[in-house]
């Protein structure tokens, strides 16, 4: 998922040493200049789209992309990462102090903030949210990210406008971690937490009146599998530069359009204004044609920090008595696949050349953490065949598919999301490139909701898809890297990690506890080297990103991270 020839420079968060006082040099409470604010129009609605329906409105549970989008537009956190600069900036907290040992952060909340139902927002809401995240009955994936040195981050509230957050051990990302702390309303959810039912709260059939929000919009209505209607939050705290309240628009309508071809047609026809993803390679020409007609604005964003992933289910229990797992679990099997793939050809056939080869999960789009010297698997079909033969896989019956000595073929069903063109084309290309070494892939496209269910249940043989991220710092993805993480997708519920997995666990725990950025980079290089050697997941190319939106929308600042445009939803307007 890349999109830019020049790439985008990512600004790292500055870690504060000693007792410090931090405040943004620009006030996020106001947006842009007064002249700009005066130029933007008020009222109207923006129609956006995505391909998946919501599974929950509970931000502590939803790990899918739509849950994150809804969190951005309806909820709030103490600090946020600006998706244009990638710097940390104050949000619900207007400033904070840091103790000399870097373990305590004292946040001073903005005065006079209220939830969308008019109830005052206080420090107790923050303390409550942390308690909810770490309650075992909640089962929140966010607990992994907010665990430092094996212990949870805690907080107390000395008064209604002050939150003191305690880190149990030194943290490299520091306050940046708190961008994942989506604050929930204590007055709405305390009873559910006490009853042990918070994991069932705010389901998709919850009446909007039973929810409260701190973001620029509130959920007004959900029409199952059709649309989500988000209305302007009359109690939202941010102001435009001229002092008038944000957001500019009155409503956002999120249309659920499973098929990406249909989504593009509706974008070109002016029926939707924004999408949640970048253009596919084939979409660029028709989008540019629409731009020439004055309908769309097409912009090149940069190289994506995310890429499509291909992996086999490495959970032994998922294979039960299937003898193929004996060779699937061998790293040599996966190394052979990596050697067999011609990444330049992959980039040309799947992304029409608008992509660059990669050999790991961190792409050149993430300039802060990308390691250009990561060991590479140079395309070599003969070497791939030799490796397969070394682990007992040969085409013994001449049918073009390798098998082990007992006749178990290297034939697999690979599931991917239906309606995502580059997934289907990427999987077709992978199938074509692995056929010469005797590995047969049978694509199976399914709906997003079913795909996620099967992923969580480890009910699949192999999968091809892309995962999003909320930040570029690897510490924000501990739930993926750690074997205990809820998003350790190639081996969910890994209770018997192999030696190399234990090494990664140890390095990532060191990484999150290290303040020195140079040391953190060296630690993460070791993580990438181990990952590259064992290849639990294979990556082939990083595409360049192009984004298109309706010309009537003002204030769009496309980001390489999703949501591409809605990350600053309160600053968008229509003319």
| DSSP line for 86-99 | --EEESSEEEEEE-
In 175-317, at which residue ranges do the beta strands (DSSP E only) sit?
217-223, 227-232, 239-240, 251-256, 274-275, 296-303, 308-312
Q: What is the pLDDT at residue 385?
A: 98
Other CB atoms within 10 Å distance of the CB of residue 537: 19
pLDDT reported for residue 126: 98
- Report the domain count for the chain: 1
| In-domain check, residue 492 | yes
Is 468 among the domain residues?
A: yes
CB 487 within 8 A of CB 479: yes
Give residue 13's pLDDT.
Answer: 29
| CA diameter of the chain | 77
* The pLDDT value given to residue 20: 33
Could you tell me the residue range of the domain that residue 454 belongs to? 308-544
> What is the structure's pLDDT at 28?
62
User: In this predicted structure, what is the pLDDT of residue 421?
Assistant: 82
Rg (CA), the chain: 24
DSSP letter (8 states) at residue 169: S
Lookup: tokens for 443: 């694509």
Query: For residue 365, what is the domain's CATH number?
Result: 3.10.105.10
- Estimate the share of the chain in helix, then strand, then coil, as percent rounded to the nearest 5: 30, 20, 45
Angle at 122 between CA 118 and CA 128, to 5 degrees: 110
pTM: predicted TM-score of the whole model, two decimal places:
0.81
User: CA 275 → CA 46, 47, 316, 561, distances in Å?
Assistant: 11, 9, 38, 13
Euclidean distance between CA atoms 427 and 350, whole angstroms: 9
In a domain, 173, yes or no: no
- Tell me 394's DSSP state: B
- Of the CA atoms within 13 Å of residue 529, those in its CB half-sphere come to 9
Residues in a beta bridge with 114:
120
Per the CB < 8 A criterion, the answer to whether 377 and 453 are in contact is no
Question: Domain for residue 426, yes or no?
Answer: yes
CA terminus-to-terminus distance, the chain: 31
**Is it true that the peptide bond before 247 is cis, omega within 30 degrees of 0?**
yes
Taking a C-beta distance cutoff of 8 angstroms, is the pair 429, 349 a contact?
Answer: yes
Residue linked to tokens 């940390």: 88
Please check whether residue 18 lies inside any domain of the structure.
no
- pLDDT tens digits in sequence order for the chain, 575 residues long: 222 222 222 222 222 223 233 333 345 655 554 454 557 899 999 999 998 899 999 999 998 889 999 999 999 999 999 999 999 999 999 999 999 999 999 999 999 999 999 999 999 999 999 999 999 999 998 998 899 888 999 999 999 999 999 999 999 999 999 999 999 999 999 999 999 999 999 999 999 999 999 999 999 999 999 999 999 999 999 999 999 999 999 999 999 998 889 999 999 999 999 999 899 888 999 999 999 999 999 999 999 999 999 999 999 999 999 999 999 999 999 999 999 999 999 999 999 999 999 999 999 999 999 999 999 999 999 999 999 999 999 999 999 999 999 999 999 999 999 988 889 999 999 999 999 999 999 999 999 889 999 999 999 999 999 988 878 999 888 889 999 998 999 999 999 999 999 999 999 999 988 989 999 999 999 999 999 999 999 999 999 999 999 999 999 999 999 899 999 999 999 99
214 located within any domain: no
Q: What is the pLDDT of residue 153?
A: 97
186 domain residue, yes or no = no
How far apart are the C-alpha atoms of 47 and 335, rounded to whole Å? Answer: 45
513 in any annotated domain: yes
- Show the DSSP H helices in 164-299 as ranges: 186-195, 260-268, 284-292
């Amino acid at each position: 998922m890349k999109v830019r020839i020049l790439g985008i420079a990512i600004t790292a968060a500055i870690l504060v040493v000693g007792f410090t006082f931090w405040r943004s040099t620009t006030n996020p409470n106001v947006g842009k200049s007064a002249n700009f604010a005066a130029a933007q129009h008020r009222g109207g609605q923006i129609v956006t789209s995505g391909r998946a329906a919501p599974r929950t409105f509970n931000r502590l549970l939803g790990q899918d992309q739509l849950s994150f989008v809804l969190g951005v537009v309806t909820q709030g956190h103490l600090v946020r990462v600006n998706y244009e600069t990638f710097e940390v900036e104050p949000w619900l907290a207007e400033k904070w102090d840091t103790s000399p040992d870097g373990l305590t952060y004292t946040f001073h909340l903005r005065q006079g903030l209220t939830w969308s139902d008019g109830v005052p927002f206080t420090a107790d809401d923050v303390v409550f949210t942390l308690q909810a995240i770490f309650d075992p009955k909640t089962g929140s994936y966010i607990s992994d990210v907010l665990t430092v040195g094996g212990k949870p981050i805690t907080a107390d509230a000395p008064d209604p406008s002050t939150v003191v957050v305690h880190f149990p051990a030194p943290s490299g990302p520091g306050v940046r971690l708190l961008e994942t702390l989506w604050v929930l309303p204590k007055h709405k959810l305390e009873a559910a937490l006490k009853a042990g039912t918070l994991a069932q709260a705010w389901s998709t059939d919850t009446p909007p009146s039973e929810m409260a929000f701190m973001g620029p919009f509130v959920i007004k209505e959900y029409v199952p599998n059709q649309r989500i209607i988000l209305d302007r939050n009359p109690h939202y705290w941010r102001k435009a530069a001229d002092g008038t309240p944000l957001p500019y628009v009155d409503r956002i309508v999120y249309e659920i359009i499973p098929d990406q071809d249909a989504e593009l047609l509706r974008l070109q026809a002016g029926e939707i204004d924004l999408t949640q993803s970048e253009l596919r390679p084939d979409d660029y020409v028709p989008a540019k044609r629409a731009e020439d007609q004055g309908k769309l604005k097409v912009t090149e964003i940069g190289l994506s920090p995310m890429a499509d992933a291909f992996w086999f289910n490495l959970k032994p229990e998922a294979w039960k008595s299937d003898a193929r797992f004996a060779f699937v679990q061998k790293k040599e099997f996966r190394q052979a696949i990596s050697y067999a793939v011609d990444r330049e050809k992959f980039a040309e056939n799947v992304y029409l050349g608008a992509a660059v080869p990669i050999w790991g999960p961190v792409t050149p789009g993430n300039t802060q953490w990308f390691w250009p010297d990561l060991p590479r698997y140079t395309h070599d079909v003969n070497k791939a065949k030799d490796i397969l033969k070394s682990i007992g896989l040969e085409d013994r019956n001449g049918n073009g598919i390798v098998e082990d000595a007992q006749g178990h073929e290297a034939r697999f069903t690979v599931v991917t999301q239906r309606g995502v063109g580059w997934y289907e084309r990427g999987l077709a290309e992978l199938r074509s490139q692995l056929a010469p070494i005797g590995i047969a892939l049978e694509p199976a496209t399914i709906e997003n909701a079913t795909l996620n269910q099967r992923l969580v249940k480890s009910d699949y043989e192999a999968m091809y898809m892309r995962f999003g991220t909320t930040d570029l710092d690897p510490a924000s993805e501990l739930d993926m890297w750690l074997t205990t993480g809820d998003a350790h997708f190639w081996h969910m519920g890994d209770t018997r990690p192999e030696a190399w997995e234990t090494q990664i666990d140890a390095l990532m725990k060191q990484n999150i506890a290290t303040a020195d950025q140079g040391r953190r980079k060296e630690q993460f290089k070791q993580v990438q080297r181990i990952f590259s050697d064992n290849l639990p997941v294979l990556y082939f190319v990083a595409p360049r990103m192009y984004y298109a939106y309706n010309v009537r929308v003002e204030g769009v600042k496309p980001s390489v991270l999703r949501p591409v445009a809605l990350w600053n939803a309160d600053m968008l307007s229509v003319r």
